[in-house]
Amino acid sequence: MARPIRLFVSSSPELYAEREIVGEVIAALPLTIGWRIGHTSIPGETARGEVASVDQCDLYALVLGQDFAAPMGVELRQATAIGRTPLAFRGKAAYSPSAQDAIRRLSLGWREFSTPGEFRASFERALMRAVIRQAVQLGLELNELERLIELSQEAERTASEAQPGRRHGDAGRSGVILGREVWESGN
């Protein structure tokens, strides 16, 4: 049995909807393997359970909002030190000086978004491509890879908007998403 995929997401503190979307997109992927997701800490938040850490992540995403907060720089350095290329996204916002500097200095191939729906579509496509590229290292089964390629091609053809007025729940927090094999095997 393959180990869970470990994703770490560095994000600006105000991006609650985008954090939520990350969890929703991952939960909807047709994979039996589980995920461990870590996020940049939000002030006042305590770590919960066994989550992905930057220094052991398989995949790394950077989501920039208004501010490039101090923890984000440390996380980015840690991720690049272990050879992770960030999936980089930036919201259209009135950027702080640190965010402006990050945009100017970091050559990351930023994917811009204006709405949570645009972020969802862009993140989903980028994440699927990243998982497909690392399918062997991540331990994906052939049928999962085929289905993911199919979904990726479909997502490339049509980018959907997020439903307006969605309420925010717990999918935007660090956590563990169990693989289907845990439920199917009865463990």
The string of pLDDT tens digits covering residues 100-113 is: 999 999 989 999 99
Q: Whole domain around residue 108: which residue ranges?
A: 5-159
pLDDT at 142 over 60: yes
Q: Given the structure tokens 């049509």, which residue do they identify?
A: 158
Number of domains in the chain: 1
Rounded Cα gap, residues 119 and 116, in angstroms: 5
Within a domain: 172? no
21: pLDDT strictly greater than 60: yes
Residue 63 lies in a domain: yes
Q: Is 175 a domain residue?
A: no
Return the CATH number at 83.
Answer: 3.40.50
Tens-place pLDDT, residues 27-76: 999 998 999 999 998 776 766 656 778 999 999 999 999 999 889 999 99
